[in-house]
Amino acid sequence: MISQTLNFGTPSVIEVATTGPQYNDVLSHAAKLNQELAKINEIRDLGYEVPLHSPTVGVHVERVLAGQLGVTADQVGQAVVSATASSRFVSPNYWRDPRSGVSYQVQVEVPQAKMTSVKDIETIPVASTTAAAPLLSNVASVRVGNVPGELDRQNGLWMIGLSANLAKSALGRAASDIDRAITRAGNPPRGVSVQVRGQVTAMRQIFGNLSIGLVLAILVILLLLAANFESIRLSLIVLSTIPAVLMGVVLMLLITATSLNLESFMGAIMAIGVAVANAILLVTFAEKNRKAGAEAHAAARNAAGERLRPVLMTSLAMITGMIPMALAIGRGSEETAPLGRAVIGGLIAATAATLLILPTVFGLVQQRASLASPSLDPDDPDSPHAAAPEASR
């Protein structure tokens, strides 16, 4: 039940559903998809969700012969059902015990051991109104064939589903391989469409929402920093540490053979938050030193030295706290280990970038920046538009 809930009702982690108005077109394209999906090493247990070739025995009534012998199609059907199943499906019969008052169902059926071949079916007697009971072979032809075990529809269209499980834990790589397999299968017939369902759809929705949230968070941080520093350039200097965070996260995931998943994505966002906080601290002191008369490069280097201890304390405290999580110590901790590893990798790279690269970036960007305040507030004493103080009487 838990697995089907996570799969949004699908019987397995991955489901590839083929739908279309014509069953033969859907079946042929589903067969192509099955061949291409079988080449993927990331999945296992690949197969159709329902059997497509269930064995059947078809009885086709020869109406001319049946009419000459006084047999109707209904009589043929009753004879076949009674012989292969039970008479209770044709004419239910109940006998009531006069002593106990309990009713019992009385039914007639042919032993299964005597109904095992097509020849046995052909010798079933059929009731007739004009002649002795003819055999089934006298009024009908019996053929062995196969039919789909189940016919499914979605929104009025025929549907054939292929299901598979993960051979490895990387659902993202499996989803990419599935997309390529669908492309290799070629263009589907007219009206036929292919849908990838299960946890793949949920994963893509989650990562899409997280990506949008990350972009919006960076945009909001940029606007807030621009309002605080009253400078777009200083805001961009602070955000220059984000690429270092992402690089550190990717390297740590590669070193530890960890996939990019929901937990590691959240860890990257946490690392970006701490890195931006450290960068704001350093840039604030660097700009303060520059306005005090120091050259831009010297002001940034002095700020890195002045704020070395707070930056290291913040980063090391976060890294140290994430080490037990990253080591996956304890039962079930493997699920949250990617978060800790992403935070550690991102903060190591961000700390190095903040202390070593950020001062250089600040010096290059602010080397020729004006010392005048861009503020338009007349109540700001640093603003060139500040109101002159009233002359004392």
3-state percent breakdown (helix, strand, coil) of the chain, nearest 5: 55, 15, 30
Write out 28-75 in H/E/C secondary structure.
Answer: HHHHHHHHHHCCCCCEEEEEECCCCCEEEEEEEECHHHHHHCCCCHHH
- Pair (337, 261) in one structural domain: yes
How many whole angstroms separate alpha carbon 40 and alpha carbon 198?
17
Would 380 be classed as within a structural domain? no
From 146, 164, 181, the end of a domain falls on: 146
- Pair (77, 136) in one structural domain: yes
How many whole angstroms separate alpha carbon 294 and alpha carbon 369?
13
- Pair (326, 280) in one structural domain: yes
Give residues with Cβ within 8 angstroms of 173, minimum separation 6: 42, 259
Instruction: Inform me whether the pLDDT recorded for 175 exceeds 60.
Output: yes
- Pair (156, 133) in one structural domain: no
Would 379 be classed as within a structural domain? no
- Pair (247, 323) in one structural domain: yes
- Pair (251, 320) in one structural domain: yes
Would 264 be classed as within a structural domain? yes
Would 37 be classed as within a structural domain? yes
- Pair (186, 313) in one structural domain: no
DSSP state of 89: G
CATH of the domain at 41: 3.30.70.1440
Expressed as residue numbers, the domain containing 39 is 2-50+150-202
Would 212 be classed as within a structural domain? no
CATH of the domain at 82: 3.30.2090.10
Lowest mean pLDDT among 27-31, 111-115, 246-250, 382-386: 382-386
Q: Kindly state the average pLDDT of the residues 266-276.
A: 89
DSSP state of 357: I
Cα 52 to chain centroid distance, Å, stands at: 27
- Pair (177, 43) in one structural domain: yes
- Pair (64, 134) in one structural domain: yes
- Please give the model's pTM, rounded to 2 decimal places: 0.62
- Pair (177, 292) in one structural domain: no
Would 58 be classed as within a structural domain? yes
From 122, 146, 170, the end of a domain falls on: 146
Residue-level pLDDT at 347: 93
Q: Kindly state the average pLDDT of the residues 131-148.
A: 86
DSSP 161-200: EEEEEESSS-HHHHHHHHHHHHHHT-PPPTT-EEEEEEHH
User: Residue 222's closest CA among 240, 205, 207, 204?
Assistant: 240
User: Residue 26's closest CA among 38, 18, 34?
Assistant: 18
Which two structure tokens, joined as six digits, stand for 53? Answer: 């070739």
Give residues with Cβ within 8 angstroms of 68, minimum separation 6: none
Q: What is the mean pLDDT of the chain?
A: 85
Instruction: Inform me whether the pLDDT recorded for 7 exceeds 80.
Output: no
Q: Which residue has the tokens 């935070």?
A: 343
- Pair (119, 173) in one structural domain: no
Q: Which residue has the tokens 């699920």?
A: 335
343-388: per-residue pLDDT in tens?
999 999 999 999 999 999 988 888 877 766 655 556 666 665 555 5
Number of domains present in the structure of the chain: 3
Which parts of 240-381 fold into alpha helices (H)?
242-255, 262-291, 296-306, 308-326, 337-352, 358-365
Q: Kindly state the average pLDDT of the residues 121-129.
A: 87
From 146, 169, 194, the end of a domain falls on: 146
pLDDT category of residue 391 using cuts at 50, 70 and 90: very low
Would 210 be classed as within a structural domain? no
Would 245 be classed as within a structural domain? yes
How many whole angstroms separate alpha carbon 358 and alpha carbon 304?
9
Rounded to a whole number of angstroms, the CA Rg of the chain reads 38
CATH of the domain at 280: 1.20.1640.10
Output b/e per residue, 240-255; b: 16+ Cβ within 10 A: bbbebbbebbbebbee
- Pair (239, 263) in one structural domain: yes
